[in-house]
Structure 1
Amino acid sequence: MARGQFSAFHRIAADELWHFYYGDPLVVYEISHSGRLVTHRLGADPAKGESFQTVVKAGSWFASEPAQGSEYGLVGCTVAPGFDFADFELAEREGLVQQYPEHGELIRRLTRV
């Protein structure tokens, strides 16, 4: 994922394991079922709070983007049980903002519709 790109808020019905492979740090934002925002920082420098992998729990809303100052990051995902497009839901901006108004700015920035 290059600077200026993002993966819009969405959710799936399975856990998703994110793997960091190369490049600059990437941030994955997860809104839990309770509405708590969890920020996962993927990267190669544990001293800066980065990790090589993280798990987003099934049913959580999540989005990602390169961390501030990053040019690009190479990441991958593993879904268990396997990914099925029937279980994929892309967030609708205003509906998600109504549900989690405390995260409105982030939601508006990382949604497409």
Structure 2
Amino acid sequence: MTPEELIAYYELEPIPREGGLFRRTWAGSERADGRPDGSAIVVLLTADDYSALHRLPSDEIWHHYLGDPLDLLLLAPDGTASAAVLGPDIRGGQHPQLTVPAGTWMGARTRGAWSFFGCTMAPGFTYEDYEHGDARELTARYPAEAARIAGLCRP
């Protein structure tokens, strides 16, 4: 499939602040606190966009579906940083599925023209959970990653 076909098929819309195009494909039953038991989305990132650094209060599982691999920057609460590649080449060190622990700053960019992937959370995502990364604050906390942070933050 092409990115245009994916956009039409899933009726993808822009992700507020974060970047990319998405569609929620599942939300579980509503819990007493108003959150769904779980949620799942599909996301399309193209070479002219990226998933801005953000963090969530629950683990988030990323799944690669189609297109090019995706580079992820992960900034852990303990001050360490790591990188991972979401993609199909398991022998080459890529991950078809990757869990980002709660409280970890995460941002991503496609390695090619486009990447189509999914994210799953339990309990489910709510917009109140989303915390947008600030380049100045993140650079102060993770100075060795300053260049990558600058490339994955937006106002």
TM-score range, shorter chain: over 0.9
Which gives a bigger RCO, structure 1 or 2 (Cα 8 Å, sep 6+)?
1
* Mapping 1:58-73, distance limit 5 Å: 58-67=102-111, 70-73=112-115
Are 2:84 and 1:40 aligned?
A: yes
Return the TM-score normalized by structure 2: 0.68
Are 2:123 and 1:81 aligned?
A: yes
State the number of aligned residues.
111
SS at match of 2:46: coil
Q: Looking at CA atoms only, which structure, 1 or 2, has the larger radius of gyration?
A: 2
- Aligned partner of 2:145 in structure 1 is 103
SS at match of 2:136: helix
| Superposition misfits of 4+ residues, deviation over 3 angstroms | none
Determine which of 22, 25, 34 is the counterpart of 2:66. 22
Question: Aligned-pair distance for 1:4?
Answer: 2.5
Superposed CA offset, 1:49-92 (max 9, x none): 1121001110111100012xx11111010012111211111011
Return the TM-score normalized by structure 1: 0.92
SS at match of 1:63: strand
> Considering only aligned residues, what root-mean-square deviation do their CA atoms show, in Å?
1.0
CA distance in 1, matches of 2:88, 2:54: 25
With 5-14 and 37-46 compared, the bigger mean Cα shift is at: 37-46
- Aligned partner of 2:136 in structure 1 is 94
* Structure 1 residues without counterparts, runs of 5 or longer: none
* Structure 2 residues without counterparts, runs of 5 or longer: 1-44
What is the one-letter code of the residue matched to 2:72? V
Identical-residue share of aligned pairs (%): 34
- Aligned partner of 1:57 in structure 2 is 101
